[in-house]
Amino acid sequence: MKVKLPTARDVVSARKRIRDHVETTPVLTSSVIDHIAGAKVLIKAECLQQTGSFKLRGATNRLLQIPKKKREKGVVAFSSGNHAQGVARAARRLGMPAVIVMPSDAPAVKTEGVEADGAEVRLYDRNTENREEIAAEIARERDAVLVPSFDDRMIIAGQGTLGLEFAEQVKARGDELDHLICCTGGGGLITGIALALSKTSPETRIWTAEPEGHEDWKRSLEAGQIMSNEPGTHSKCDAILTPQPGDLTWAAGSPLLAGGCAVSDQHAFEAMRIAFRQLRLVVEPGGAAALAAAMFRLPEEAKGKTVGVVITGGNVDPRFFADVLNRTI
């Protein structure tokens, strides 16, 4: 059976559907960041979204389309934290029970955020257990709806509303995006943004930003096929650590992307420090990857151009954040 790919029209429909459920996050600038990057950088601060990340957009779009008669059975999701919080918040608003499968090493700020929204947390071991299997079993037992974190048409469309919003804000400033860099894990956000910009800003070249050793999108785009990460690779950018691009996100997103950037954890930490000092933003490592790429790994063709950057999340453990700011790690 042929899978129906998400479209730009799906993103437009999602925007109308979730408009009253999410915030319009600001676009920020810094002359210091421009100087470091060698480009004019426009920063979409989605870390200021409700729940601290863009994930609320896709989760809300997905849950709003669950039939009312099915909602009492609830939803199940698996996530390292940001998708978990998005699903938990959307479920609470719609009066739906939620179970979230989360890694036992997820930052406490993320598990606490999920529980604060009334969701049940089921912890698992990243190295010995399979989160997809656990979530699927719980969904079967409860007859609940499984809500994937990225490889879902409605999730992708919801995340893509950020792209529509960003393009409108940039246009209102009298600017145009020559390039855009986005933190990338499974690819739901960057695929949604690419679909949105394919209609509103088709000349914009779009780049992934990933941790070194986990740059599966970068390598996949270079190879022209899905490539997986080597087992056992590690990074502090926990929010964007996925084994490989999703089947749906790859099919829909890869034809619209220019290429990829890979940054070290130290690059991400420096981006966190600069975002705090220059923009007064609290950013998590994975959420800082695109800013790090713009400042330290910007593609040569983007130098001197107008570059959009998406800061995707700000859910970072306070002690860890203090260590980053104090340069103790």
Max Cα distance, the chain (Å): 55
**Residue that finishes a domain, picked among 116, 146, 176:** 146
Q: Same domain for 137 and 66?
A: yes
Find the CATH number of the domain harbouring 73: 3.40.50.1100
36 in any annotated domain: yes
Domain that residue 168 falls in: 8-53+152-325
Mean pLDDT of the chain: 95
140 in any annotated domain: yes
Q: Same domain for 77 and 41?
A: no
130 in any annotated domain: yes
At 229-239, the pLDDT tens digits run 988 788 999 88
84 and 77 in contact (C-beta within 8 Å)?
yes
Q: Same domain for 135 and 244?
A: no
At 20-67, the pLDDT tens digits run 999 999 999 999 999 999 999 999 999 999 999 999 999 999 999 999
78 in any annotated domain: yes
Nearest to 312 by CA among 281, 293, 294, 286: 286
At 103-155, the pLDDT tens digits run 898 888 888 989 999 999 999 998 889 989 999 999 999 999 999 999 999 99
DSSP secondary structure letter of residue 229:
P
Total of domains in the chain: 2
Q: Same domain for 73 and 197?
A: no
Q: Same domain for 204 and 61?
A: no
59 and 155 in contact (C-beta within 8 Å)?
yes
31 in any annotated domain: yes
At 242-259, the pLDDT tens digits run 899 999 999 999 999 999
Q: Same domain for 88 and 77?
A: yes
Q: What is the mean pLDDT of residues 288-316?
A: 98
2 in any annotated domain: no
Q: What is the pLDDT of residue 1?
A: 57
**Residue that finishes a domain, picked among 113, 146, 179:** 146
323 and 107 in contact (C-beta within 8 Å)?
no
Q: Same domain for 262 and 288?
A: yes
Residue 298: band (very low, low, confident or very high) from pLDDT cuts 50, 70, 90: very high
83 in any annotated domain: yes
